[in-house]
Amino acid sequence: MKLTAQISRTVFLLGIVSLLNDLAAELIMAVLPVFLVGLGSAGWVVGLIGGLEDATKSILSLVFGSLADRVGRKKPLVFLGYLIPSVFRIALPFSTHWGMALLFRVLDRVGKGMRTAPRDALIADAVTESTRGANFGFHRAMDTGGALLGSALAFVFFWWLGLPVPGIILVGGLVSLASLIPLSFVPESGSLGQRKKLFDGLRELPKKFYLNLSGMAVFALANFSYMFFLLKVNAAYTEKLAVGLPIAMYVLYNFTYTFCALPVGMLSDKIGRRAVLLMGYLLFSVTSLGFAFAQDLGLFVPLFALYGVAYAFIESNQRAFIADLAPPERRGTALGLFHMCVGFGSLLGSVIAGVLWGFSPALTFFYGAMLSCASVALLMATTRAR
């Protein structure tokens, strides 16, 4: 079957929305660690902000995923979820203390939490199980394509055009508004509302869903904020290189993530989501172990490339796997619970990583490598249990 025939119109439009939104977001995220350092934050603050972002998004993912199932409408939540972050991205560059930046980033994640589960449910509703991996992979490829463009533009703006970091962030906030335009053409999924209490759907999710979710939750503990990878590069250099090289490495990460996401999604349709996830968790473990020893570009370049490949194996396939395991009428709830669990895991993992960073950056990456291996063992044990 041709790829164009496999990709739903809904998924194509949502992919454009994500491309534009992530272009804007990555303009900000590529320079955010340096911006936070400039506001006086320490390693534990970076971990706290990264973790709170994920936790805020994830708590609300369960609330709004369940709400979408209950009312039977997903698009209004998705629209508000893209509008709210745009407002606070515009406010972020005017921060004068890291506490203000923390507040604005958390409010940004409120919007992401509102849209993520309903949007993933829209994608799952629009496709069949046999093409779900390809469609989720396509969406993540568009999403990370925007991230690639955004991080590349951040490098151009800083290195060649000399735009200050707050100016780059402001451009990102303004660009994010444009992502709302193609969203108006996305059709509603038309699912029926459920006349039940908000979280009743949790009891209707099958046991195999919870067994597999446990392995993903353990990996979330290993999956600390990307900012620690960039800070490792920042700490290895001085002056202009200390800002420019982390941005360049972030571009490389997004490049490999973007171009691997769709092929890996299609691979999961053929060999199964679980096998692809196991490979992704192992790749992440190897990547983290490498960063524990990396000190120069000779290792930073291949490791950031591998970091992107690992995420291509993990991100979209976890979502597609969750959608496979959940009943159609409970996909919003299932995806919301998934995002909540991995968000709390990321919060705890990022805080632990930040504390370990204060003793030695290498300890942060040893921690990620060990927990990632533990998630592989748990997911394999889940396979035997079934």
Question: What is the number of domains present in the chain?
Answer: 1
Task: Name the percent of the chain lying above pLDDT 90.
Answer: 18
Check pLDDT > 90 for residue 310.
Answer: yes
Residue 1 clears pLDDT 50, i.e. is over it: no
Distance in Å from the first CA to the final CA of the chain: 32
27 in a structural domain = yes
Q: Is residue 3 part of a domain?
A: no
pLDDT of 164 higher than 70: yes
How many Å apart are CA 340 and CA 336, to the nearest integer?
A: 6
Residue 294 pLDDT exceeds 50: yes
Confidence (pLDDT) at 283 = 96
1 lies in some domain? no
Residue 195 has a CB neighbour count (10 Å cut-off) of 7
Range among 94-98, 191-195, 287-291, 356-360 with highest mean pLDDT value: 287-291
In a domain, 190, yes or no: no
Q: Domain containing 103: what range?
A: 10-182+201-385
Is the pLDDT at 364 greater than 90, yes or no?
yes
pLDDT of 321 strictly over 60: yes
CATH number at residue 340: 1.20.1250.20
Please give the model's pTM, rounded to 2 decimal places.
0.73
Tell me the longest C-alpha to C-alpha distance in the chain.
Answer: 59
Q: Within a domain: residue 192? A: no
Does 188 reside within a domain?
A: no
Please give the share of the chain, as a percent, with pLDDT higher than 70.
91
Task: Flag whether 187 is in a domain.
Answer: no
pLDDT tier, 313 (very low <50, low <70, confident <90, very high otherwise): very high
Specify which of 130-139, 225-234, 299-308 reaches the highest per-range mean pLDDT. Answer: 299-308
**Contact, 131 vs 270, CB < 8 A?**
no
> What whole-number distance in Å separates Cα of residue 102 and Cα of residue 50?
9
Q: What is the pLDDT of residue 367?
A: 96
* pLDDT, tens digit (0-9, with 9 covering 90-100), for 23-71: 998 888 878 877 877 777 666 666 677 667 766 777 787 788 778 777 7
Angle at 114 between CA 112 and CA 116, to 5 degrees: 60
Residue 193 lies in a domain: no
pLDDT score recorded for residue 198 = 54
Note the pLDDT tens digit of each residue in 192-228.
555 555 566 677 788 888 888 888 999 999 988 777 8
Task: Please give the Cα distance from 255 to 336 (Å, whole number).
Answer: 28
| Residue 195 Rama label (left phi>0; alpha psi -120 to 50; beta) | beta
Mean pLDDT of all residues belonging to the chain: 83
